[in-house]
Structure 1
Amino acid sequence: MWTDRLVSGVRALPDGRPAWCAGAVVIAGRGPVVAAEAAAGWAVRYRAYDPVADRGVDLPRDLWERMRVGTVFDLASLTKLFTALATLQQAECGRLALDEEVRSRLPAFAPGITVRQLLTHTSGLRPELPLYERRGRAAQLELLWDQAAAPDGRPGSGHRYSDLNLIALQLLLEQCTGQRLDVLVREGITGPLGMRSTSFGPLAPQGVAATEDQRRPWAKADRGMVRGEVHDENAWALGGVAGHAGLFSTAQDLAVLCRTLLNGGAYGAARILRPATVAALLEPPGLGFAVDQPYFMGELAGRGAAGHTGFTGTSLVLDRVTDTFLVLLANTVPPRRRDGGSAPRAAAATCLARAASRRR
């Protein structure tokens, strides 16, 4: 069966040569039904990274922790999806408009940059800034204001993926609601949907997958082995709550989010968005979601599949045509970050695509 192939493929990821990840969790389903669910490898294994030997230094064997379906992951850029959802919720409430200029609320922004452009990564802002090099929120945001006043690219001229877009959305949301992003996400998304394992950190380490022995020169900060605190250096510098990174969650909770979106914004008695808003969220070019990206969606791409990836190894994809979803959370950065590519993500998505196509 396809579920056996999907599960066996994911279980092989931590043991490959070279291994793609330390551990992984996969959940796939159709509509309200979970068809496949599995965990493999280790949530915690390494004490540190040895740059001379170019390998991880293992903890004592009795301190290794197996990956479980309920293991909590640093979602990295999957956080962006929640910021996008919160933005659209405020648009539904009339507190902001997608085509309004950002400078109407954040005066440092140059003319012509709209909320929609932040969501679609067409604002012209550069991919990132070294906020982690500055102490204090005011000094950190000064870097953003300088870029916002004179973006590297012309607003609306083309797609340029940028963490700064989502940090700007966070600031805009906080300005127009008077609430922090973590409160908006909890009260508007995770609370109503019963996603009890989803929150911003820091978290107690038990049950959380470790990420990286974060040290220069391969990283941007010297923090040692990171676990329960956000891996992204800029999100960490911003206090752990940021529009582009900082959320932690489980595959089970993310499956609930996927079901909600496939169902037009409702899950059980809870509704977080209207069906028309969900359609706009997921249709090209996607409002916060990537659409039809074969590098991680495999053969699900090409028919309107939407999803996102995260630097730590996280990803989700959903396909409204076949009413299917795939959540693959892998811990690809321990003991130190490397570019392992997205081939395993694409292979898992292709497995689901072929199975769903046969059952249509």
Structure 2
Amino acid sequence: MPSLAGLRGRGGRSGQLSVPRLRVDAPERAGLDPEQMALLARGVRGLTAGERPWAAGTVVVAGRGPVIAVREAAGWAVRYAGYDPETDRGVELPPAERVPMTVDTPFDLASLTKLFTSVAAVQQIERGTLGMDARVGAYLPEFRGAAEHGVTVRHLLTHTSGLPAELPLYDCADNAERLALLRDRGPVAAPGERHLYSDVNMLLLQRLLERLTGRTLDVLFHTGITRPLGMDSTGFGPCPGAAATEDQRRPWAKADRGMLRGVVHDENAWALGGVAGHAGLFSTGSDLAVFCRALLAGGAYGPARILGSDFVELLLAAPGLGFAVDQPWFMGELAGHGAAGHTGFTGTSLVLDPATGTFLILLANTVHPRRRPPDSTPRRDAATRLARAVRPT
């Protein structure tokens, strides 16, 4: 990983050449094998077939460099009115009342939100206003659980803080009780000892960024990432036209909210008002392709630059800051040479591969009509198809 001393002050936002914007074109124009890309698209379409499909609906966007070689939708954004636990089946809507999936359908991104929180943090590191190895307690002294154990910004970004995976904020009586729980809960493992994936890391990072900048997280995302990149379909909810998620009820869920569409699925993000560092963002496949393209192009898209290229390298280099790196279980054969990405509980995933310049966004409402044990085999298979499509340049 590059040192911060060698990075600070480099890769600024002025005097840069414009990066070509994305365009839809034939796979061959991107150095991708058309047969493999056709198999990728066919495989994703098949995920919505049958009585118990992998997902009610899917959107896939894949390409290389400035070329989107596959951009397709299949199935339904809304297929079910609810879930019947007695038959263990979704209650089908009449065909006339279902909502078809389109390539422009927004999705609840779930944990893909963490990638944007990480970019927002690295932007502050680039500016010199945030220290990577500074202690959280230096910014949030009242957060005793993290402060007393020496948790650092790096620990939060790399999921090595030792903080628990989640906290039952959804069961708290009010925001004061939620804040107290976040403030007081300490690590369950020694910071730096091991990787322990945790939503709490990003919730603390959210509060740190908000304290540091005086801006809420939604404003930081808009001004620092989505507006410069022209990602007009990306933001926190409500998002009325989004793909439906879950008939959220106990005992399979943690709250009783009924069928959800256009409001955040994650119970903790919901309890926090819908804007959270770990979940809550909505976006489309096309917007996420822009996000991938900007990172693959060293932090720039068109005339805009959201990060210097060295700081993109810092973000994506193993072990990754917020991003998972080289994880075959969802990256397939793209893993192994520095591919980075993430998955989301609602069925979303994103992979970008700096070694080949390729990107893959697979969005699906796999929790519609209710959550079930996760299965990333389709993500892995789609990524492998993309890896096998790459031709030498």
Same-fold call, TM > 0.5?
A: yes
Which amino acid counterpart does residue 392 of structure 2 have in structure 1? R
Q: CA deviation at 1:93?
A: 1.6
Aligned to 1:333: 367
What CA deviation, in whole Å up to 9, does each residue of 1:161-219 have, x standing for no partner? 0000000000000000111000000000000000000000112x2x3100000000000
Aligned to 1:353: 387
How do 1:6-17 residues align onto structure 2 when only pairs under 5 Å count?
6-16=40-50
Aligned to 1:123: 161
Aligned to 2:216: 180
Aligned to 2:271: 237
Which amino acid counterpart does residue 166 of structure 1 have in structure 2? M
| Residue of 75, 89, 96 corresponding to 1:55 | 89
Stretch deviating more after TM superposition (90-99 or 188-197) = 90-99
Q: Let me know the Cα RMSD of the aligned residues.
A: 1.0
Aligned to 2:201: 165
| Residue of 66, 71, 81 corresponding to 1:37 | 71
- Does residue 247 (structure 1) correspond to residue 281 (structure 2)? The answer is yes
| Residue of 321, 336, 340 corresponding to 1:302 | 336
Q: CA deviation at 1:17?
A: 6.6
How far, CA to CA, are the matches of 2:183 and 2:261 in structure 1? 31
CA contact 2:245–2:265 (8 Å) conserved in 1: yes
Aligned to 1:146: 184
Aligned-pair identity in percent equals 65
Stretch deviating more after TM superposition (85-94 or 309-318) = 85-94
Partner secondary structure for residue 8 of structure 1:
helix
Which amino acid counterpart does residue 62 of structure 1 have in structure 2? A
How do 1:306-321 residues align onto structure 2 when only pairs under 5 Å count?
306-321=340-355
Query: Please, which runs of 5 or more residues in structure 2 have no aligned partner?
Result: 1-34
How far, CA to CA, are the matches of 2:36 and 2:101 in structure 1? 22
Q: Which runs of 4+ in 1 moved over 6 A?
A: none
TM-score (norm 2): 0.89
- Does residue 220 (structure 1) correspond to residue 254 (structure 2)? The answer is yes
CA contact 1:79–1:245 (8 Å) conserved in 2: yes
Q: CA deviation at 1:16?
A: 4.8
CA contact 2:149–2:187 (8 Å) conserved in 1: no
Aligned to 1:280: 314
Distance 1:283 1:17, change over 3 A: farther
Query: Please, which runs of 5 or more residues in structure 1 have no aligned partner?
Result: none
How far, CA to CA, are the matches of 1:136 and 1:201 in structure 2? 21
Aligned to 2:191: 155
- Does residue 292 (structure 1) correspond to residue 355 (structure 2)? The answer is no
CA contact 1:282–1:289 (8 Å) conserved in 2: yes
CA contact 1:127–1:163 (8 Å) conserved in 2: yes
Which amino acid counterpart does residue 327 of structure 1 have in structure 2? I
Q: CA deviation at 1:271?
A: 0.2
Which amino acid counterpart does residue 138 of structure 1 have in structure 2? A
- Does residue 90 (structure 1) correspond to residue 124 (structure 2)? The answer is yes
Q: CA deviation at 1:143?
A: 1.1
- Does residue 3 (structure 1) correspond to residue 3 (structure 2)? The answer is no
How far, CA to CA, are the matches of 2:135 and 2:221 in structure 1? 23
| Residue of 290, 305, 314 corresponding to 1:271 | 305
CA contact 1:101–1:111 (8 Å) conserved in 2: no
What CA deviation, in whole Å up to 9, does each residue of 1:246-278 have, x standing for no partner? 000000000000000000000011000000000
Partner secondary structure for residue 42 of structure 2:
helix
CA contact 1:103–1:111 (8 Å) conserved in 2: no
What CA deviation, in whole Å up to 9, does each residue of 1:295-333 have, x standing for no partner? 000000111100000000000001111110000001100
Which amino acid counterpart does residue 112 of structure 2 have in structure 1? L
Which amino acid counterpart does residue 115 of structure 1 have in structure 2? V
- Does residue 67 (structure 1) correspond to residue 101 (structure 2)? The answer is yes
Q: CA deviation at 1:110?
A: 2.2
Partner secondary structure for residue 98 of structure 1:
coil
What CA deviation, in whole Å up to 9, does each residue of 1:55-74 have, x standing for no partner? 01112221101111000000
TM-score (norm 1): 0.97
Distance 1:154 1:223, change over 3 A: same
How far, CA to CA, are the matches of 2:51 and 2:356 in structure 1? 34
